[in-house]
Amino acid sequence: MNNKLKVALAQIAPVWLDKEATIKKIEKQIIDAAEESCELIVFGEGLLPGYPFWIALTNGAAWNSSVQKELHAHYVKNSICIEKGELDSICQLAKKHQMAIYLGIIERPEDRGGHSIYASLVYIDQEGIIQSVHRKLQPTYDERLTWAPGDGNGLQVHPLKDFTVGGLNCWENWMPLPRASLYGQGENLHIAVWPGSDHNTKDITRFIARESRSYVISVSSLMQKTDFPEGTPHLDKIIAEAPDQLANGGSCIASPDGEWLVEPVLHKEGLIIETLDFNRVLEERQNFDAVGHYSRPDVTHLQVNRERQSTVSFFDNE
């Protein structure tokens, strides 16, 4: 049955900007998915510890603002340093339940000094090993006021039964060349993670499936005005401008022909579970394969730099 893969889309709200509490909520979703014999679970963009909604609500571009500085510092302190083992408990659950995981985090990496943060998509395999960390190449619009731009190191794919999985963050999914870099590595199950809302997922999910002749899983988070926790810095300013619904979900799955397997699910928290059949990929590649028989590498050819970027390199004498 390697051609069948049971997947879970975890459409949940974070415990906003509280990494410890959000990790516990993520762990519960993994355990619940294991009870349903799921082999892959996917969480939304930046779910751990949450999306920076305050920027659009509190004049995030204000220069030298104490409000923005204090909120940013709170965000950084609740971001994830993988090198310090802050994903270890999640990796252990992946191994225990033989479940692969795609998880959107706000990463605070030591290899970039430990103070800047990145919207990263982490892939943990069924043995509980982190196989790739893809830092979002280009934060979108006001995200650039808090997230740093990433690099190509995480443009990688991974074997999962008969499938080859890869993923991108949010509006990266609209970038043709990163998509092509994954297609060229044999991707046939594409993971697209979003902060939330069907206005992001309802068109691009089916478009990528039709272009790539792959399954596409889009996973979004939820966020309501009532989800902002007490104790958040400048909560009164955030609440004053926040709409009742900031992210309505919209998680969905498109089949390799571009048609819906699961239409966007709105306003519902929890797991969305479906089984994928790899044979559908082979059927749809018969008439179109963007990097195979319907490509012309002698005419157009993509080069990708996957080197992990860092500000310094050290050459120490031993």
Q: Could you tell me the CA-to-CA distances from 100 to 34, 91, 97, 108, 191 in Å, in that order?
A: 11, 9, 9, 23, 12
Name the residue ranges covered by the structural domains of the chain: 4-285
pLDDT value, residue 204 = 97
The pTM score is 0.96
d(CA 74, CA 68): 10
Residues making up the chain, counted from first to last: 318
Of 190, 195, 194, 196, nearest to 211 by C-alpha is: 190
d(CA 291, CA 189): 15
pLDDT by residue for the chain (318 residues), tens digit each?
A: 899 999 999 999 999 999 999 999 999 999 999 999 999 999 999 999 999 999 999 999 999 999 999 999 999 999 999 999 999 999 999 999 999 999 999 999 999 999 999 999 999 999 999 999 999 999 999 999 999 999 999 999 999 999 999 999 999 999 999 999 999 999 999 999 999 999 999 999 999 999 999 999 999 999 999 999 999 999 999 999 999 999 999 999 999 999 999 999 999 999 999 999 999 999 999 999 999 999 999 999 999 999 999 999 889 876
d(CA 311, CA 11): 36
What's the DSSP call for residue 80? B
Residue listed under structure tokens 């018969």: 286
Strand 270-277 to 4-11 pairing: antiparallel
pLDDT value, residue 248 = 97
Which positions are annotated as active-site residues? 45, 136, 170
Burial class from Cβ neighbours inside 10 Å (0-12, 13-18, 19+) for residue 116 reads middle
d(CA 75, CA 318): 39
pLDDT value, residue 317 = 76
> Which strand ranges, in their side-by-side order, compose the sheet holding 4-11?
130-135, 118-124, 100-107, 40-43, 4-11, 270-277
What's the DSSP call for residue 197? -
CA 299 to chain centre: 32
d(CA 11, CA 273): 11
d(CA 206, CA 210): 6
For 4-285, which CATH superfamily applies? Answer: Carbon-nitrogen hydrolase (3.60.110.10)
Which residues, including other chains, have CB under 8 Å from residue 313's CB and lie 6 or more apart? none
Could you tell me the sign of the dihedral formed by the alpha carbons of 13, 18, 23, 25, in that order?
negative
